Amino acid sequence: MPLKREQGWYKDAIIYQIHVRSFYDSNGDGIGDFNGLAQKLDYVQELGANAIWLMPFFPSPLRDDGYDIAGYKSVHPNYGTLEDFKTFLSSAHDRGIRVIIEMVANHTSDEHPWFRESRSSQDNPKRDWYVWSDTDTKYAGTRIIFVDTEKSNWAWDPISKSYYWHRFFSHQPDLNYDNPAVREEMWNVMKFWLDLGIDGFRLDAVPYLIEREGTSCENLPETHEVIRELRKKIDEQFPGAMLLAEANQWPADLRPYFGNGDEFHMAFHFPLMPRMFMGLRLEDRKPITEILQQTPEIPAACQWCLFLRNHDELTLEMVTDVERDYMYDIYAKDKTMRLNLGIRRRLAPLLDNDRRRIELMNGMLMSLPGTPIIYYGDEIGMGDNIYLGDRNGVRTPMQWSGGWNGGFSAADPESLYSPPILNPVYGCQAVNVLSQKRTAHSLLSWMKHIIGIRRSSSVFGSGSIEFLYPANHRVLAYVRQLAKETVLVVNNLSSAAQAVELDLRRYKGNILIEMFGRNIFPRIGDLPYLLTMGPYQFYWFRLRRI
Amino acid sequence: MSGLVGHIRGDSNPRWEVELAEETLLTDDFLRQLINVGEVDILIGLSTHNNAKTIEPVIRAVQSGILKCFPRDRAVIINADGGSQDGTPELVIGASIDDVRSLSKVYALRTLHSISTQYARSPDLGTALRTILAAADLLRAKACVVVSPDSTTIQPDQLQLLVRPVYNDNFDLVLPIYRRQKFEGVLMRNLLYPMTRAIYGYRVLEPYASEFAISGRLATDFLTSESWNNDWGRIGPEICLTIAAITGKYRVCQSYLGTKAQPHRSATDLVAAMRRTAGALFSSMDSSFPLWSTITGSQPVPILGSPTELALEPVRVNRKRLLEMFAAGVSQLEPVFESILSASTLSELQKIAKLEVGEFDYPADVWARTVFEFAASYHKSVISRDHIVQALVPLYRGRTLTFLLENRDRSEEDIEKSVESLCDEFERLKPYLLEGWADRK
């Protein structure tokens, strides 16, 4: 039974990001599938997530892990059938879990029938569905995104003897959104899935939909027109469905994607994520407060999406050169860990498997303004395999138990879509769901706890934020407020114990109630409020006037 | 706390005594600020007193230097103020790093703290430096750089030239070498350098430096030094630090910092400068006699970097006035000089004092003997030690006149040769000093 699409549901969501292929294999073929995912929905529910974001599961040659789509209205046979998807969707909704799917709108696979037709001749009716040129010199001001693999945004097509435009891999030709037929067909694709009951789309590579000479071909006004057109149709026909923008841009460039509340409902806050890692390692709140100061206000109905890690590299596009060099030196000394302008590692290895740092980062993820996304496996501290190509090292099988293939699949280990993590630190025998479920102090148990606290109050999802600037720069403190509810968050970014004095005079008379243990702290008076904090410790206090 | 210090002074562990005394050096407010700063890599210390006219560009240069050269390092600017009435501390605290960022187009990864503490109501260089070193010790700074608050020619890169040798090459003390207009730095070139070199056997060109860098190790060790317990350690701590470093077998080097403009000094400033420098130097010789008395000759101290082109206008000097002050001093202070100088040296000075400007000459050997006799008299306290140091001032003016006359038409290189020749004279005459030192009269 579909969940009612309430307006603004995404603001209080905890999103769990899953790749079907990696989660659970129900038929023993070595590849995760929808039936397997449906079987594991209880786990997602117990974790406390109330939304799932699925990475692409459509027919695809899988040269870019499904982001090269060869058919938009069906399911890749590796993962099951459309009926399996419907069953999964229904099961998720039965548990109150919403489902967000990928809409890779910017490009298709070069094996998509549209592109095959388009390249077949210059007179083909679908010729204008893609961006063709006789030369490779147009749009010269456009940067190359996959700098490690691509030399140009144009690729030569020997069949139709001309160049086609691609912002990502050369096997991913960009669709031509100047063509109304393309826009209409993409809406039909979205409508297809919305009719099935999905709750929202993550729109991949949004800034690149339109190209114009003399520009960077990013964030163009015409791109916003396309988005407004889609949003209008959604609001009219599927109210409550959500659009999430993947636009790796600076906050000021991202702001227009919310429009006047008539474009995206949510957008990833890409620049914040690397700065959280930076602030932690520098033991200085500056990178975090600075980027949030630069983050403009967004319409009331809109929301930022926050994440620590995802299926891609830890992107360093939205940082300065000084910051990028620092991040590489600190988090990716081994050059194998680097990919494009980023670092292809999971959360736990990035943080040296330091439980205190993992908790602190998740604490900030859950308490800063926005909707948090947890990447599958990070809730148990899974590791990565930097020796697998591209970003596959962070897309290894979910580790359910210490047994055969980590409980992921009954197949022969050699037939798995990817080798599981085997090392003694992060391997399935050391890190798995089953053992962590049995331990009250495991990372998984702790994650359930913090998610529960986060979901206990709308202040985190919808409240305002005001930063306090204590003289101790290693402490990041802010007040979240929604109506009469006020929460004080204090994070010690340092590896050493710290004393911090907070100016809380405007909350004089309130007592502090620590939200994890529900202990009472002294009443706020006229003097600076002194807290002593252990290494990487953080507090969430509910303020109450009693 | 002072009562506690007094009580513990009888304890057999002197280290405790010093540590507790240090605690009283830092006010609660300053300590609170240090807690907020936390551990740092670089501490930049300033000792100010009514420096409002010059402090802002100095702070900006320091901030630029940190952002440009040490963006990843934890740094703090600490101002020890001796009771400024012109708003100097407020200017230090209020200097925004954002201004520097937009001007220099540099990016700061970290928070850069600027804090200020008033250690006393009147300036006391020793307490100021001690406050800075105590902060460096508490914050576990890897390098502590002291910058002059009236250094109008300071450049952001100078910070790097001072800090890198500590960071990269494990030097404990990095002293500056400046490119000066040829008639500046006369006290350094005619007295402090030759004397320090002859006594301690190291060729330190700027033994009394207002800008230098020290390692955390030396900062901590010097903090517990005995120097703070005597007057000269408090008045001339910089030269005491240099001497402590070279005699303590720390790794010392010199770094070219570029051009240095001398702030305008009045005649009374020279007496104070002589107290801070020569006075402290003479004082240091008392306790370190067993060490320096065995040293002959001198060895070079590593020099890093390369000299820059001189960009300063030459200064004008009133030679006639110098001669008058020298002659008047020799005449008026004759009774004092009779206690300090040998009869032969005094006689020579009296002859020199009768010369006209055109033929004036205070030769290197006479000057070296004069200084050595002052040092020996200081050691023996033939009269008040402060009077001895003050009495050296008019004679120094005579030597200055000779320096100006000799070098009027010489190139920079030739002047350096002349200074080296003077140093050789000091080294050659060191046995004369030892004789005078041992003489019971």
- For A147-199, what is each residue's pLDDT tens digit? 888 999 999 999 999 999 999 999 999 999 999 999 999 999 999 999 999 99
- Contact list, A472 vs chain B (CB under 8 Å): 35-36, 38
Tell whether the model's pLDDT for residue B8 goes beyond 60.
no
| Model pLDDT, residue B102 | 61
Q: What share of chain B is helix, strand, coil (3-state, %, to 5)?
A: 60, 10, 30
Tell whether the model's pLDDT for residue B194 goes beyond 70.
yes
Long-range contacts of B118-123 (CB under 8 A, 24+ apart): B118/B27, B118/B81, B118/B82, B118/B83, B118/B89, B119/B25, B119/B80, B119/B81, B119/B82, B120/B82, B120/B83, B121/B82, B121/B83, B122/B82, B122/B83, B123/B47, B123/B49, B123/B82, B123/B83
Distance from CA of B72 to the nearest CA of A (A): 8
Among A21-25, A208-212, A333-337, B416-420, the minimum mean pLDDT is found in A333-337
| Angle, helix B237-247 to helix B125-138, in steps of 10 degrees | 50
Q: Are A270 and A371 in the same domain?
A: yes
From the list A287, A471, A494, the residue facing B33 with the nearest CB is: A471
CA-closest candidate to residue A54, choices A174, A196, A200: A200
Distances (CA, A) of A222 to A166, A177, A185, B288: 18, 9, 18, 81
- Mean pLDDT across B313-335: 88
- Mean pLDDT across A125-138: 96
Answer whether residue A121 is part of any domain.
yes
Rounded Cα distance between A356 and A534, Å, is: 10
Question: pLDDT tens for residues A494-514?
Answer: 999 999 999 999 999 999 999
Q: What burial class does residue B7 get, using C-beta atoms within 10 Å of its C-beta: 0-12 exposed, 13-18 middle, 19+ buried?
A: exposed
Helix (H, G, I), strand (E, B) or coil at B325: helix
pLDDT band, residue B66 (cuts 50/70/90): very high
Q: Are A432 and A385 in the same domain?
A: yes
Tell whether the model's pLDDT for residue B17 goes beyond 70.
no
Q: What burial class does residue B24 get, using C-beta atoms within 10 Å of its C-beta: 0-12 exposed, 13-18 middle, 19+ buried?
A: exposed
Rounded Cα distance between A424 and A413, Å, is: 17
- Contact list, B34 vs chain A (CB under 8 Å): none
Among A118-132, A319-333, B308-322, the minimum mean pLDDT is found in B308-322
Distance from CA of A480 to the nearest CA of B (A): 24
From the list B32, B72, B74, the residue facing A326 with the nearest CB is: B72
Q: Are A237 and A361 in the same domain?
A: yes
pLDDT band, residue B185 (cuts 50/70/90): confident
| Model pLDDT, residue B103 | 61
Residue of B nearest to A320 (CA): B107
Helix (H, G, I), strand (E, B) or coil at A120: helix
Q: Are A117 and A100 in the same domain?
A: no
- Contact list, A293 vs chain B (CB under 8 Å): none
Q: What burial class does residue A469 get, using C-beta atoms within 10 Å of its C-beta: 0-12 exposed, 13-18 middle, 19+ buried?
A: middle
| Model pLDDT, residue B228 | 80
Rg (CA), chain A: 23
| Model pLDDT, residue B120 | 82
Answer whether residue A4 is part of any domain.
no
CA-closest candidate to residue B363, choices B429, B312, B438, B268: B429
Rounded Cα distance between A76 and A362, Å, is: 33
Answer whether residue A170 is part of any domain.
no
**Would you call A470 and B36 a contact, using CB atoms and an 8 Å cutoff?**
yes
Helix (H, G, I), strand (E, B) or coil at B6: helix
- Mean pLDDT across B358-362: 93
Q: Are A197 and A301 in the same domain?
A: yes
Count the domains in chain A.
3
> Is pTM, for the whole model, over 0.90?
no
Tell whether the model's pLDDT for residue A335 goes beyond 80.
yes
Q: Is A204 a catalytic residue?
A: yes
pLDDT band, residue A428 (cuts 50/70/90): very high
CATH code of the domain occupying B2-304: 3.90.550.10
Tell whether the model's pLDDT for residue A201 goes beyond 90.
yes
Among A450-464, A516-530, B313-327, B414-428, the minimum mean pLDDT is found in B313-327
**Would you call B35 and A287 a contact, using CB atoms and an 8 Å cutoff?**
no
Helix (H, G, I), strand (E, B) or coil at B265: coil
| Model pLDDT, residue B10 | 33
| Model pLDDT, residue A359 | 98
Residue of B nearest to A497 (CA): B38
| Domain locations in chain B as residue ranges | 2-304, 319-438
CA-closest candidate to residue A445, choices A121, A10, A47, A92: A47
Picking from B30, B31, B36 by the largest number of A CB atoms within 10 A of its own CB, the best residue to mutate is B36
Tell whether the model's pLDDT for residue A248 goes beyond 90.
no
Rounded Cα distance between A101 and A246, Å, is: 13
pLDDT band, residue A124 (cuts 50/70/90): very high
Q: Are A97 and A42 in the same domain?
A: yes
Residue of B nearest to A287 (CA): B109
Tell whether the model's pLDDT for residue B346 goes beyond 80.
yes
Answer whether residue A152 is part of any domain.
yes
Q: Which of A425, A455, A485 is the last residue of a domain?
A: A455
Rg (CA), chain B: 22
Residue of B nearest to A275 (CA): B109
Question: pLDDT tens for residues B240-278?
Answer: 899 889 988 899 999 999 887 666 655 558 898 898 899
CATH of the domain at A158: 3.90.400.10
- Mean pLDDT across A206-210: 94
| Model pLDDT, residue B229 | 77
Asked if A239 and A199 touch (Cβ cutoff 8 Å), the reply is no
- Mean pLDDT across A455-463: 96
Tell whether the model's pLDDT for residue A17 goes beyond 70.
yes
CATH of the domain at A383: 3.20.20.80
Task: State percent of chain A over pLDDT 70.
Answer: 100
| Model pLDDT, residue A501 | 95
| Model pLDDT, residue B101 | 64
- Asked if A324 has any chain B CB less than 8 Å from its own CB, the reply is no
Tell whether the model's pLDDT for residue B13 goes beyond 50.
no
**Would you call B109 and A473 a contact, using CB atoms and an 8 Å cutoff?**
no
Among A9-13, A207-211, B5-9, the minimum mean pLDDT is found in B5-9
Q: Are A72 and A137 in the same domain?
A: no
Q: Is A297 a catalytic residue?
A: no
Tell whether the model's pLDDT for residue B360 goes beyond 70.
yes
Q: Are A150 and A254 in the same domain?
A: no
Question: pLDDT tens for residues B85-121?
Answer: 999 999 999 887 776 666 666 678 899 999 999 988 7
Token pair 């003694």 in the structure block, residue: A424
Tell whether the model's pLDDT for residue B317 goes beyond 60.
yes
pLDDT band, residue B16 (cuts 50/70/90): very low
Residue A470 belongs to domain spanning = 463-544
Q: What burial class does residue A483 get, using C-beta atoms within 10 Å of its C-beta: 0-12 exposed, 13-18 middle, 19+ buried?
A: exposed
CA-closest candidate to residue A291, choices A197, A207, A368: A368
